[in-house]
Amino acid sequence: MKDYEVLNKIKELGICAIVRGTSADSLCRITDALIEGGVNAIEVTFNTPGAAGMIEELVKKYSDQMLIGAGTVLDAETARIAILSGASFILSPSLNLEMIRMSQRYSVLPVPGISTPTEAVVAWENGAKIVKVFPAGVFGPNYIKQLKGPLSQIDMMAVGAVSIDNFGDFIKAGACSAGIGGELVNKKLVEEGKFDEITRRAAAFVNAFKEVKNK
């Protein structure tokens, strides 16, 4: 899938589950729970031990059902490892131009992290078609609305403390999607084997996204 196709899919789905610090043994159960709840995009963060191998495994088993990306990618070297592992998109909490260039070299979608208008424009001028507004929960939905005023050409993903209570507000404010971590998949739920709760939360986010889009 080309980078522009991945971007369109992210915008269509509206929700990307962030999986951080889990074990390889739990990953497939998490993924099954997300799919059952209607969430079909997942990001494995690279501060998770064995992340590259986990992405490879997901690509082998779920590439026809799930959009699979890599997160917490801080540099071009890590981006290349993620790309060779099969990641379709690369997210970062920060703005690293070499990461963007490495992703583009392989026609993989870069999603650099930004927190200011200047960073958003720099990312855009260097080829990023979507940026990750982080930490979105600190700034609030109105911050994205204000950014989108002069920068309507740039798609924005809200990431960081996005919950079921504020998710709809971020989408209404102009975010095309959101990356959701602990409010969707958290360590305690996984350790307790409460995968049905992950499915329930996934379905709640999907329904919230549909409600905003259908208005």
Q: Is 132 a residue of the active site?
A: yes
Percent of the chain that is helix, strand, coil (3-state, to 5): 50, 15, 35
Report whether 9 contacts 33 (CB < 8 A). no
Q: Which of helix, strand or coil describes residue 169?
A: helix
Please tell me which residue in 43, 57, 183, 197 is annotated as part of the active site.
43
**9 labelled catalytic:** no
Helical ranges in 38-148 per DSSP H? 51-62, 76-84, 97-105, 117-125, 136-139, 141-148
d(CA 197, CA 185): 9
Residue in this structure with the two tokens 């290349």, named with its chain if needed? 80
CA distance 137 to 69: 22
Which one is catalytic: 57, 132, 148, 183?
A: 132
For 141, the token pair is 């939905």
Smallest Cα–Cα separation from 109: which of 40, 172, 141, 155? 155
Active site residues: 43, 132
